[in-house]
Amino acid sequence: MAQVNEATLANRGRAFGALEKNWGWLLALGILFIVLGVVGIGMAVTLTIASLLVFGVLLLAGGVVQLIEAFKNKGWKSVLWHVLIAILYIVGGITVLDDPILASKVLTLVLAGAILGIGIVRVAVALQHRGTAGWVWTLLGGFVSIALGVLIYLRWPISALWLIGMFVAIDLIASGWSYVFLALAARKAGSRAAA
């Protein structure tokens, strides 16, 4: 049994590679993400608009590159579809850049519908697995998603101003904590390997 544990520890150490020695950089990145996320929560409206402007630029750039690529490939049977997709990306990018508030309203409605739909599916899955271990948690998660989708919809269009920024900020915080814990695990694996 002791040999299995040593082998497991050795494999964990190999999984981190050079991160065992350079874990401090990942820890610093995690802390930076957490700080940016906390600041982002306080600036959710600004973060929503900034996120949509970046999204608009990416759509526009992707459309232009795809359009150039379509015209470089003469004789390709699907070039017309490729051009159509590129034009849709360009129009979408211009639309988002022209009115990021309108874009946030549309995206917020789509998000509310998606979250509501996910909640309904989770409830259905939970009811299918009724009586098995953990089915109540899936049911609870479904009800939370349904409630969240309904709340976003009921607060729309006001929720459009802060929701996307809030999601980005929460994602930054979650990513930051995952980097912090990963860095600490790498540090621990490195000190075990050294010992």
6 within some domain: no
| Residue 129: predicted pLDDT | 79
5 assigned to some structural domain: no
Q: In this structure, is residue 1 part of a structural domain?
A: no
What is the total count of domains within the chain?
Answer: 1
Domain of 144 in residue numbering reads as 21-194
Q: Tell me, what's the pLDDT at 13?
A: 45
- Decide if 108 contacts 152 (C-beta within 8 A): yes
* Phi-psi group of 76: left, alpha or beta (phi > 0 → left; psi -120 to 50 → alpha; rest → beta): beta
Does residue 2 lie in a domain region? Answer: no
In a domain, 62, yes or no: yes
Is residue 55, in this structure, part of any structural domain at all? Answer: yes
Q: Is the pTM value of this prediction over 0.75?
A: no
pLDDT given for residue 15 in this prediction: 62
Interatomic CA distance for residues 59 and 107, integer angstroms: 14
151 domain-assigned: yes
In order along the chain (195 residues), what is the average pLDDT of each group of 10 residues? Answer: 52 60 82 90 85 91 89 76 89 91 86 87 85 80 85 83 81 84 77 65
Residue 16 lies in a domain: no
